[in-house]
Each structure stands twice: as structure tokens, then as C-alpha cells.
Amino acid sequence: MMQTCSIAWFRRDLRLSDNPAWSGAQDAANAVPLVVREPRLLDTAGPFRRRAFLDAVDALGESLAATGVDLRIESGDPTEIVAGVAAEIGASAVHVNADVTRWATRRDDAVSAALGAVPLHPHWGTLVHAPGTVLTKKGTLSRVFTPFHKQWQTLPLGEPLDLDESVPEPLGTAVERAGGYPATRDLPGVAGTTDLSTALRFGMVSARAVVRRMLDEGDGGEAIVRQLAWRDWYAHITLGAPDIDRVALRSEFDAIPWETGKDADAAFAAWSEGRTGYPIVDAGMRQLRETGWMHNRVRMISASFLVKDLLIDWRRGERFFRHWLRDGDIPSNAGNWQWVAGTGPDAAPYFRVFNPVTQSRRFDPYGAYIRSWVPELAGLDSRSIHAPWEAVPVDLAKMGVGLGVDYPTPIVDHALAREETLRIYKAALQNRTADPLGTSAEK
């Protein structure tokens, strides 16, 4: 008699440990692990995310090979491939970890239809808590982070799905840095954050395993766990507002007349290439393009600069970040862009504009971060490195820096730009319309 088998289709959960889809498929006997390399995803991902995905697939293949199982890797449209493999091996079910984006939901609906009588079993293995489980007393998703977090913390994590007690490799750095995290997490010149985002993006480590381990690490570990609640929150919001990367969640701000045309394109190019004349912004954008990662504090500063100083649509910045980021992910990226732009739920109030110079002096006091990424300014002292235009030209010349020659003069005056942006935002507020989340009473 032919033994039943099932498929575990791995997508952004590229691990064996603590993986509900993999466990679910194994429970059904003879699990066949499958990865589909989807051209649409690979073509739109920038070089760093593409590489990270392919490396994660290789690592998964090696983990499986160590247990004597071959990972089946196919390339093409998953609608045809998954149904084709299921028919070929006579699978009784396909197990997946569900995802929250509109694109993933549509893909899974199409695959499910193509599978016909073979069920597609969704599990939740990419987040700490599944969407729909963290609700207010009224049974809705809170659009304010703090109450969401409070409730999120009370939910049980459940037992790990396997007894592997070793610390998964990507967690090593997090364990090492947890103690210092509260003091150093905001300092881009210090390697003080966990560096877990790419491993979480592709599920090389389970978010629940991170929480379980970090809860043993005192205050630092708790601060890290709180960041994972933000990650969950943006994912839960995305499931209910799948156009989060296209539509302002506070729709009145979609009335903002963003800058467009030749000048805006030139300003966008200067921002994206790290030549705005604001060293902290330029350092961040260069770090992004050279490594595929940018420190969180600098992501906030450079995103704010694009939206609030250049008045360029946050959607343009969101797409650019998503292309280049190794951890680029619609919920976290669009959620944070909307937070910075002041257009999202529980966002920074629109009138809070990051000052790129004071932020730089506060969080990179000795200019260590700027020196790493903007080497032409490395000779400047710790005061002028944040705002070279404030230095006396002769001092700059002594350090070999000619403003407008070796390093750009600022492309915009921050104080003037801020005033103009606030005026425009205020005008947009007069155009209030419905709230796409439908939860504005939920404060």
C-alpha cells in the first residue's frame, strides 16, 4: 500500500526547529520539504535580500540533508508547481506557515484552488502570536501599540515544538548583546542591537524561540522582546489593512501634495545615493546600499528627512528601502514608514520632525558612525562632523574638506523645510475622511 505523504512548503520559515508547518507535515507521515523559488519575489528583491534568501535555502537543505532528507527546490509559479508536486507524489495535504501581505494571501488562495481536493493547511510560525489572538475587550485589534503590547505579553507562548535546547545560531549575537541593549540600541556607532532581523525575515529562527530565550536575559532581553511585539503588531495590522504600503492609514494625509517632478527626482537621487549634505543621513543611506542593513535610529532619521525635509511621498522611500534592505518586509517597513510620516496608527505625531543634526549629536556623539560611512569627513572634530557647514571654512580646508567639492552643501535648510512641511500637513488635516482600519474609536 502506498504510504501517505504530505508537503511542507517552506517560504519565509526556512528552519526545521520550532516550525509548525514542518511539524504539521511530519505528523501526517512522510513529509516532503519543498521550496519554490518564485521569480516574481527574487526579481523584486534587491541583491542583499535575494542573497539572504538563497543562503537560507542552502542552510535549510543542509539541515535536512543531515537528517537524510532531500529538500526539493523548484523554480517558477507556485500555483503550478505546488499542485504539480502534490499530484506527482500523491500528497494528502500541503502545510505552510501563513503570511499576512495581500500578495501572499492571493498566492495562497490561488495555490489552494489549484490543489483542488488536497487541503492547504495554514499554521502560524512566523510571528510570536497569530493575528486575531491579540484583541481588545471589544474583540478588535488595537490601533495603539501600548495596549496591544500589554495584551500580547499576557498570552502564553506555548511549548516549543521540539526538544532542541541548543541556542539557534542567529540567536548567539542577541544573547551576547542583550545585557547592553537598553544602553546601546540607539547608538548607530556601536554594534549593540541583536542583528536578528534577517534571520526573522526568512524564519531561520523562530520568533517564539527568540522570546523564550530573551525572557531569561533580564531587562535587556525584555527590551528586545518588546521590539518583537512591534513586529507582530505591524503584521497584524497588515492583515487587516493589506494596502499598508500603498495607502495612508490615516487617510487625511493622502491629501498631501507631495513634491514631484525634476527637482523632487534630483532630491530623491541625492537622498538615495547618500549625498544630501547631512552626514548622518548620508551615512545611513551608504550603509544601506553597501551592506543591505541600516541601524534603526538612522532608518528613522533618514526616512524623516525624505518625508519631512524633502516632502517626498513616504511610499517612494518605502519602496526604495524595501528593495535594498536585507530584512525588507512589507509590514515592518511600510508600518515604520507610516510611523515616521505620521500617517500610520499610533504614529509619531505629524509635528514631530527629526532634526538630523541634533539626532546625530545625541546618538553618534563622537561621529564614529559617520566616520565609518562618510570617510571624506573622517578628519573633522566631533562637533563639526554633524554639520560641516557650521565649521569655519579654513578649519575644513585644514582637514582637506571643501564643501561643495569633497562633500555636498546641504540640499535643503532643515529649519525652513520643517516649517513648510508642518504647514502642509496641517492643511491636509482639514480634509479628514474615513479610517481604513475602522478602529479610530479604539484609543
Binding residues vs ligand FAD (CB under 6 A): 185, 193-197, 200-201, 224, 227-228, 230-231, 234, 296, 299-300, 303, 321, 325, 327-329, 332-333, 336-337, 340
Residue 223 C-beta: closest distance to ligand FAD, Å: 8
* Exposure class string for 238-260: b at 16+ Cβ within 10 A, else e: bbbbbebbebbbbbbbbbbeeee
Q: Which is nearer to ligand FAD, 201 or 286 (CB)?
A: 201
Report which of 333, 234, 327, 323 is spatially closest to residue 12, judged by C-alpha positions.
Answer: 327
The Cβ of residue 178 has, within 10 Å, a number of other Cβ atoms equal to 23
Residue 35 or residue 341: which is nearer to ligand FAD going by CB? 341
For 38-181, strand residue ranges (E) read 72-75, 91-97, 120-123
Minimum distance of ligand FAD from residue 327's CB (angstroms)? 4
Least separation in angstroms between residue 73's CB and ligand FAD is: 25
Q: Which is nearer to ligand FAD, 22 or 321 (CB)?
A: 321
Q: Closest CB to ligand FAD among 347 and 428?
A: 347
* Gyration radius from the chain CA atoms: 23
Output 74 or 222, the one with its CB closest to ligand FAD: 222
Report the alpha-carbon distance of residue 47 to residue 101 in Å, rounded.
Answer: 21
User: Is residue 5 helix, strand or coil?
Assistant: strand
CA dist 305 and 302 (Å) reads: 5
Cβ 304 to ligand FAD, closest distance in Å? 9
Closer residue to ligand FAD in complex, CB, 79/343: 343
For the chain, percent helix, then strand, then coil, each to nearest 5?
55, 5, 40
Query: Is the distance from CB of 81 to CB of 74 less than 8 angstroms?
Result: yes
Q: State in angstroms the smallest separation of the CB of 333 from ligand FAD.
A: 3
**For residues 379 and 391, is the Cβ–Cβ distance under 8 A?**
no
By C-beta, is 287 or 384 nearer to ligand FAD? 287
CA nearest 272: which of 311, 323, 320, 314?
A: 320
Minimum separation from the CB atom of position 58 to ligand FAD (A): 21
Q: How far is the CB of 163 from ligand FAD (least distance, A)?
A: 25
